[in-house]
């Protein structure tokens, strides 16, 4: 009963890989974007904020289509990637990772931005008066203090990536072993007249994965808070 079928194993492995890569790729850009939005005021700030949040409010299928138009073989970026690096992300797990990453990005940025705004600027000032240049202050003071926020952002993004469907299936379609992540495998099973039982198994697996991620993040979060709040 607990043995996993090849279809399930493949879907789980693919989902974990796609979500993992998506989150790791989002992280540096996410921290940077959150920092810009939290600490700076500039012309066009609300436009940037709007663009970052687009995947939250626009139907995922639309985002998937936009990704297809941009990163597909005939899209501007896709063609450049192919000509320059011989990289093609359409119809591959890399494309799935991009789709997952794009959909999860706003969640990550929100969490990290909140964290930035919670950092006492006075501590950064104090570090500067002690002789630390700005980048050192960022690395040794700001980053450690926003760690809980980064963790939250990562977990949220990971969970969102695990569950990403609409943009993925539109951009990279449903290729077994390549782009058939858990949600897509679930979808396939529900489309077949007698696939319901298989689908339920996948549902349990997906829920279990999500719960594990959430519990792990709680535990980590608590440990970090303890270290800082005594």
Partner 1 sequence: MPHRSLILCFFLILLALFALLIPRAVIAAPSIKIFAAASLSAAMEEAVRVFEKKTGHRVVPVFASSSNLAKQILNGAPADVIISANQSWMDRLERENRVEPGSRVTFLGNYLSLVAPAKSDAGFIWGTKTRLSELLQGGRLAMGDPDHVPVGLYGKAALQSLGLWDDISPHLAPAPNARAALAYIERGETPLGIVYSSDLIGRKKLREVARFPKSAYPPIIYPLAVIKARSSSAVKAFVTFLQSNAAQAIFSRHGFLPSGATN
Partner 2 sequence: MTQPTSLNINVKRRLGDTHLDVQFQSDGGLTAFFGRSGSGKTSLVNLLAGLDTPDAGIIEVGGVSLYDSVNAINIPPEKRRLGYVFQDSRLFPHMSVNGNLRYGMRFAPRHDTGDEQHQDFGEIVDLLGLTTLLERQPASLSGGEKQRVAIGRALLACPRLLLMDEPLASVDAGRKSEIIAFIENLRDQLEIPIVYVTHDLAEVIRLADTMVILDNGRAVASGDVENIMSRLDLRPLTGRYEAGAVIAAVVVRHDEEFGLTELGFAGNSLWVPRLDLASGASLRVRIRARDVSLSRARPEDTSILNIFEGKIVEITEDEGPQQEILIDIGTPLIARITRKSLKQLNLQTGDTVFTMVKAAAIDRHSLGFGGSRDRRNKLEIKPGR
Q: Which residues bind partner 1 (CB under 8 A)?
A: 65, 68-69, 72-74, 90-91, 169-170, 173-175, 187-188, 190-193
For residues 183 and 168, give the distance between their C-alpha atoms in angstroms, rounded to a whole number.
10
> What does each C-alpha distance from 153 to 71, 76, 111, 124, 147 come to in angstroms?
26, 30, 5, 22, 10
CA distance 98 to 64: 10
The DSSP code for 5 is: P
Question: Binding string to partner 2 for residues 104 to 133, with x set by CB under 8 A, is what?
Answer: ----------------x-xx-xxxxxxxxx
Contacts of 5 (CB under 8 A, 6+ apart): 198
In the complex, minimum distance from the CB of residue 227 to partner 2, in angstroms, rounded to a whole number: 7
230 lies in the binding site for partner 2 (CB under 8 A): yes
Q: Segment near partner 2 (CB under 8 A), from 9-17, 101-109, 139-147, 214-222?
A: 139-147
Binding-site partner at residue 190 among partner 2, partner 1, none, CB < 5 to 8 Å by type: partner 1
- Binding residues for partner 2, rule CB under 8 A, total 21
Q: What residues numbered 143-162 form the site for partner 2, per CB under 8 A?
A: 144-145
Should residue 141 be labelled a site residue for partner 2 when binding is judged by CB under 8 A?
yes
Q: Pick one of partner 1, partner 2, none as the site partner of residue 170 (Cβ within 5 to 8 A by kind).
A: partner 1
DSSP line for 128-165? HHTT--HHHHIIIIIHHHHHHHHHHHHHHHHHHHHT--
- Per the document, the length of the chain is 230
Least distance in Å: CB of 222 to partner 2?
A: 15
Name the DSSP class of 178: T
Between CA 9 and CA 24 the distance in angstroms is 22
Window 168-227: residues binding partner 2 (CB under 8 A): 227
The residue ranges that bind partner 2 (CB under 8 A) are 120, 122-123, 125-134, 140-141, 144-145, 227-230
């Amino acid at each position: 009963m607990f043995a996993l079928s090849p279809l399930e194993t493949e879907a789980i492995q693919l989902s974990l890989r796609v979500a993992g890569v998506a989150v790791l790729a989002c992280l540096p850009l996410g921290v940077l974007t959150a920092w810009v939005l939290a600490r700076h005021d500039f012309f066009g700030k609300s436009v940037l904020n709007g663009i970052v949040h687009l995947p939250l409010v626009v139907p995922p299928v639309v985002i998937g289509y936009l990704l297809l138009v941009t990163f597909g073989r005939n899209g501007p970026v896709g063609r450049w990637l192919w000509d320059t690096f011989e990289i093609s992300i359409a119809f591959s797990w890399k494309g799935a990772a991009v789709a997952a990453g794009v959909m999860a990005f706003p969640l990550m940025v929100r969490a990290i931005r909140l964290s930035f705004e919670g950092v006492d600027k006075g501590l950064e000032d104090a570090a500067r008066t002690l002789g630390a240049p700005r980048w050192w202050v960022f690395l040794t003071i700001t980053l450690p203090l926003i760690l809980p926020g980064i963790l939250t952002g990562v977990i949220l993004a990971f969970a969102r990536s695990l569950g990403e469907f609409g943009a993925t299936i539109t951009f990279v379609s449903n290729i077994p072993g390549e782009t058939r992540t858990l949600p897509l495998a679930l979808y396939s099973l529900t489309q077949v007249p007698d696939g319901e039982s298989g689908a339920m198994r996948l549902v349990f697996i997906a829920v279990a994965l999500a719960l594990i991620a959430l519990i792990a993040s709680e535990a980590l979060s608590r440990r970090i808070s303890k270290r800082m709040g005594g």
